[in-house]
Amino acid sequence: MSDNRYDYIIVGAGSAGCVLANRLTEDGQYKVLLLETGGSDKSIFIQMPTALSIPMNTKKYAWQFETEPEPFLDNRRMHCPRGKVLGGSSSINGMVYVRGHARDFDEWESEGAEGWNYQQVLPYFKKAETWVFGGDDYRGDSGPLGVNNGNNMRNPLYKAFIRAGVDAGYMETGDYNGAQQEGFGAMHMTVKNGRRWSTANAYLRPAMARSNLTVVTHALVHKVLMDGKTATGVRYEQSGKVKEVAASREVILAAGSIGSPHLLQLSGIGRRDLLENAGIEVKHELPGVGENLQDHLEFYFQFRCNQPVSLNRKLDWWNKLKIGVRWILRKDGLGATNHFESCGFIRSKAGVEWPDLQYHFLPAAMRYDGREAFDGDGFQLHIGHNKPKSRGFVHVQSADPKQPPRIRFNYLEHEADREGFRDCVRLTREIINQPSMDEYRGAEIQPGVDVQSDEQIDAFVRQAVESAYHPSCSCKMGTDPLAVVDPETRVHGVRNLRVVDSSIFPTIPNGNLNAPTIMVAERAADLILGKPPLAAPDASVVMDAQWQARQRPGQAKRPMA
């Protein structure tokens, strides 16, 4: 064992790990080591918001995981990129800032995550952020994470989409991260002064000036070292050399929903038969490790646009060059936004208590990675059913840490998930058919007007749906037989070992996962340090009082096509 001893070792400098590195070194009392497999995030393609598709699809910055053939998606293998760079997935994601619905966190507590209900997590959301319009009962005004609305919906298509939602009888929301998620409104993003505001920029960079924080990059962690049922340190490899470091207090895994369960399994913690088949000595049997895997799916609903206002006009090399030069010189313009500036959260049917469908609106028609645009103007909606019942797994295949795990989400295995996507198609057509979209709405490109029946919709979805890149829940928090960590984020049955990242979510929230992952790390830091919890406010939540009887509050101006 090396003489380099630390109080805490954090594995993974991602959305959670950077938060922990900052908070655990704040008072100077503890010596902390942060290990990251990737390298620097100082790339224009990471820092410029509009370039978001590049780092996600670059091996240098992201693990390019691929699922096994998904049996309910016509055996397609699905792309599952995860951050491999300082900032982790917050350095490669779409920068969309969605906390989730208040009831998502009440659901966590009902699943056994005591102390993680909405009222108790809200103070940590506030602690993390500085909302561009200032703080209130729901929003923070002095946190590390900058949050804004990009270019404030200057493109007319954004507001037309919001008006169409209201035309269709849905609510409008002034702040979906505040009292009322349900409805249509402006979308928020983690961008500050025109730059991607990852957790590396927000949390890690300020902390790196502290003498009690050591950051080691290009370090592939092989396993957690154990003395009986106690975690004592980690073994990692850097530049071909294997090293061991000790933690006198705790080892904290923040390697994400693929990396953390895989690392537990490599360390001999997990399901006995799985570990034995992989040639790994069982140190602690914990059957839930790698189970309960969840994700969001989405597809692109695309239309031609009848007015010359879409971003399809900005996709040629000359316009891209101008956008890039302006961003380099001024950090503003189209280079300073992720282009998802309006959104919607709706319920798929009566009897659904809180929203389970989410819209990201984009004033262009293209793939998420920027490919396959077409000539002319267009717009699209990313739409998905966000409360899936299907469950998958992350399973170690070998004792070799360089061999990726088996990943399968079992997407759309559950009939309720297939029903949710049928609702996505039919409800979206009705929204876009409203008067507010009349001057912009052209022909439907995808799915296409011939896709109408349940069978046709199901076939389209199986072929067109893509991951929204929100893997989670694979080391769930709780007290049931499949729970991996307790409500204090400690691994059941193992001393001095925690998991703090999106893998410990009991269920996936209705929204993008960067914001709740940061919240989890903020609250976990207080738990680790033994601090009293932040005072829970009495924050009301606006919901449709008649949710049991109706799918939306109002009547559509134009009936469903």
Three-state DSSP at 53 gives: helix
Question: Catalytic annotation on 470?
Answer: yes
Listed as own residue / partner, the contacts of 284-289 with beta carbons closer than 8 Å and 24 or more positions apart are 284/226, 284/229, 284/493, 284/494, 286/484, 286/491, 286/492, 286/493, 287/481, 287/482, 288/475, 288/476, 288/481, 288/482, 288/483, 288/484, 289/261, 289/264, 289/265, 289/474, 289/475, 289/484
CA–CA distance, 12 with 76 (Å, rounded to integer):
29
Specify which residues 34 forms β-bridges with. 10, 215
Distance CA 263, CA 222 (A): 7
What are phi and psi for residue 81, nearest 5 degrees?
-75, 140
Question: Half-sphere exposure of residue 25, counting CA atoms within 13 Å on the CB side?
Answer: 27
**What is the H or E stretch that residue 506 is in?**
none
Q: Is 316 exposed, middle or buried (0-12, 13-18, 19+ CB in 10 A)?
A: exposed
For residues 420-453, one letter each, b for 16 or more C-beta atoms within 10 angstroms of the residue's C-beta and e for the rest, the string is bbbbbbebbbbbbbbebbeebbbebbebeeebee
Measured distance CA(360)–CA(372) in Å, rounded: 19
User: What is the C-alpha separation between 184 and 355, in angstroms, rounded?
Assistant: 11
C-alpha dihedral, 179 to 183 to 186 to 187, nearest 10° = 80
Q: Give the 3-state secondary structure of residue 546.
A: coil
End-to-end C-alpha distance for the chain, whole angstroms: 69
Place of tokens 């992952």: 517
Helix 415-432 × helix 156-167 angle, to 10°: 110
Between CA 490 and CA 496 the distance in angstroms is: 8
- Asked if residue 216 lies in contact with residue 36, where contact means CB atoms within 8 angstroms, the answer is yes
DSSP string, 272-304: HHHHHHTT---SEE-TTTTEEEB--EEEEEEEE
- Cα–Cα distance for residue pair 461/361, rounded to 1 Å: 19
Single-letter residue type at 533: P
Residues 120-141 as b or e (16 or more Cβ within 10 Å = b): bbbbbbbbbbbbeeeeeebbbe
Q: 3-state DSSP call for residue 70?
A: strand
Reported as type and span, the H/E element at residue 80 is strand 79-83
Say how far apart CA 416 and CA 385 lie, in whole Å.
10
DSSP codes, 106-144: HHHHHTT-TT-SHHHHHHHHHHHEEETT---SS--BSSS
Binding site listing for FAD: 7-36, 85, 93-96, 221
Pairing of strands 241-253, 269-270: unpaired
> Which sequence positions are flagged as catalytic?
470
